[in-house]
Amino acid sequence: MYNKKTIEDVAVSGKRVLVRCDFNVPLKDGKITSDKRIVEALPTIKYLLAQGAKVILCSHMGKPKGEVNPKYSLAPVAARLTELLGQNVALTADIVGEDAKAKVAALKDGEAVLLENVRFDAREEKNDPEFAKELASLAEVYVNDAFGTAHRAHATTAGVADYLPAVCGYLIQKEIGIMGKALANPERPFVAILGGAKVKDKLNVINNLLTKVDTLIIGGGMAYTFLAAKGYSVGTSLLDEEKIDYCKDMMKKAEEKGVKLLLPIDTTIAASFPDPIDAPIETAVVDSDKIPADKMGLDIGPKTMELYAEAAKNAKTVVWNGPMGVFENPTLAKGTIAVAKALAESDATTIVGGGDSAAACEQLGFADKITHISTGGGASLEFLEGLELPGIACLEDK
């Protein structure tokens, strides 16, 4: 799974190359608020242009549900690419229609064009073979560089690979290289930190990581189901009753495998969930086995922050996925901030799996002190589960 051909393993000079990127950038009033995803695609695009390829870029944006919706047009992306590359990147009016074909046919070596949002066609998410074939007919080589959608088997992430030589770009190469090594052959001690709301979202991840890590740290809303499994009363905290036995099994599995399973020893509690989410809130800290019946745990407490930070600092490899508390609230973000800070200060190889954890590191200014921040939340989670990602499985092996 980790040893895939890259853009450097195929001849691209003078060829039409279809590149699947992740240009699903946040927009406000039609303006891009963060161009991070565009910037991360540049090394692959620049390499192909410098090699004299005719580059056909494609991506989805948002969830237009298979219908043309101007709100989700990639026009702002085409404009930003034009600025960043210092050369014109035209946007096609359709995906596989007359305009796309004409603009692709007009490409000269070292030029790029951007296809309109591929999800404007309902066949994209259905991975329709006819649609994949039409897309493939525009090009001679296929490059997947969209790790953020690699866990989806769509026409542009997997289907076109049936009709074209398929390789990965630098971004996917980096993702599978760093995360693949961490899982297959980590420097030890190997510590995984899992947060987020629900146990059920992380069931398979916990199960898979228990066979690989030296220490597994649990925080966030799902910690309360583990605490309940220890026989503690968790008040009105988030609780996944159906998963209490599963948590007991996991604690037993950890013990049998000699894996340290760390749970919060103290908890930041409040009367209720903040509403709105960033509203000022009155909190207190109690030991994890003393949560009052009418209160809910919303973040890890200071003793737990120290315990978790210590484990991260003594590790050689750390993987972190999911916040420790209600990160959107300044009062309840302290646990997540403490973990982000510990990773930033650690000498270990530190890997942060997309989503909220990545946002936390970026907002706090720690991003440059983390070895690798994944560009895909769902994809990095499935990677940690040990699942094969369709967008990577379809690429040619070296």
- The catalytic residue positions are 37, 198, 355, 378
Helices (H), the chain: 36-50, 75-85, 98-105, 129-136, 170-184, 203-209, 223-229, 244-257, 302-313, 334-345, 355-363, 377-385, 390-393
Residues pairing with 216 in the sheet:
192, 261
Q: How far apart are CA 342 and CA 365, in angstroms?
A: 13
| Residue 91 token pair | 């946007």
Q: How far apart are CA 62 and CA 219, in angstroms?
A: 30
Q: How far apart are CA 231 and CA 26, in angstroms?
A: 43
206 backbone dihedrals φ, ψ, rounded to 5° = -60, -45
In the block, residue with structure tokens 């894996």:
259
For 208-264, the DSSP string reads HHTTT-SEEEE-STTHHHHHHHTT---TTS---GGGHHHHHHHHHHHHHHT-EEE--
What is the SS3 string spanning 123-182?
Answer: CCCCCCHHHHHHHHCCCCEEEECCHHHCCCCCCCCCHHHHCCCEEECHHHHHHHHHHHHH
CB count in 10 Å sphere of residue 9: 12
Q: 55: helix, coil or strand? A: strand
In the block, residue with structure tokens 């030589």:
165
Q: How far apart are CA 261 and CA 60, in angstroms?
A: 39
Q: How far apart are CA 315 and CA 72, in angstroms?
A: 43
Element (H, E) at 18: strand 16-20
Give me the amino acid identity at 247: C
